[in-house]
Amino acid sequence: MIRAALMLGVLIFAGSAGEIAVTHGMKRVGEPARLRPWALLQFLGRALRNGWFWTGVPLMALSFYALLVLLSWEPISFVIPASASSYAVGTLGAKYFLGEEVNGKRWLGVLLVCAGVAIVAAG
Amino acid sequence: MGHQRRLRIKTLVVVCAMVICATVGDLLLKRGMMQIGAVQLTAAGLAHTFRMTLESGTIWLAIFFLIGFMLSNMTVLSWADYSYVMPASAIGYAVVVFMGMAVLGETVSPWRWLGVALICAGVLLVGHTNPRTTEAAR
């Protein structure tokens, strides 16, 4: 049970940290000039040269690996609902590391999504 | 059209592209792997599966959609808040339930409908907040 809890922690925290690093990287890269193929290719080229992007990718890969390991230990009806708390962890990370303004309405929305995803996955 | 309204519409369009690409990609991946069959966990079995995935048009189509998901995710995060995009994209769970019912004729339990309703309510609430609360990092 302890090893499953530890692996769940890796899944949630590495996944959220990876997404936050990628988000920070994308904010530094800046948005594409237009949503057209050439502008998107130029945007992708800039993104692939960003260090934060390459910090986030291994963390997300680690999170994915933790998901695979956890799925081999525990039933999916436990793993996916338990990992739904990553929405709340990610929101905390966005608030404290990215400086995003998370008001009461957004928090309520995030918590409803957490509960909904857990129920859909368990149901 | 006001700047805020344009930002909200642009964000929602790219989030929709993300959800569609992820859902279609996952479904195609599932179909492709079912066509290949159960993976044998031996060196020969893994090599056979690897060869079969490279030759499968369905798997390549799935990879195309999953690259579309990754690109749209990176694009939307270049201007929108992570705490906005992440819960908004959870609408994909509801889409999968609806598609399972409409396309595959699956029965959906009342418990699962409750989950879908909570996700939709959560996404609606998040959708009413400002998609961008920070300036671009320098």
pLDDT tops 80 at residue B136? no
Q: Please report the sign of the dihedral spanned by the C-alpha atoms of residue B24, residue B89, residue B18, residue A10.
A: negative
pLDDT for A101? 94
Report the alpha-carbon distance of residue A113 to residue A47 in Å, rounded: 29
Average pLDDT for residues A45-69, to the nearest whole number? 92
pLDDT tens across B1-17, in order?
688 888 889 999 999 99
Contact at CB, A28 and B137, closer than 8 angstroms: yes
Contact (Cβ atoms closer than 8 angstroms) between residue A100 and residue A64: no
Residue B60 banded pLDDT, cuts 50, 70, 90: very high
Residue A82 banded pLDDT, cuts 50, 70, 90: confident
Which residues 31-60 of B are in CB contact (within 8 Å) with A? none
Average pLDDT for residues B31-50, to the nearest whole number? 81
Report the alpha-carbon distance of residue A96 to residue A21 in Å, rounded: 13
Q: Smallest CA–CA separation between A30 and chain B, in Å?
A: 6
**Does A94 lie at the interface with B, CB-CB under 8 angstroms?**
yes
pLDDT for B79? 94
Over the range B11-30, which residues count as b (16 or more CB within 10 Å of their CB) and which as e? beebbebbbbbbbbbbbbbe
Q: Smallest CA–CA separation between B19 and chain A, in Å?
A: 15
pLDDT tops 90 at residue A106? yes
pLDDT for A33? 85
Residue A45 banded pLDDT, cuts 50, 70, 90: very high
Output the pTM of the full model.
0.86
ipTM of the complex: 0.90
pLDDT for A93? 95
Nearest to B119 by CA among B91, B100, B99: B91
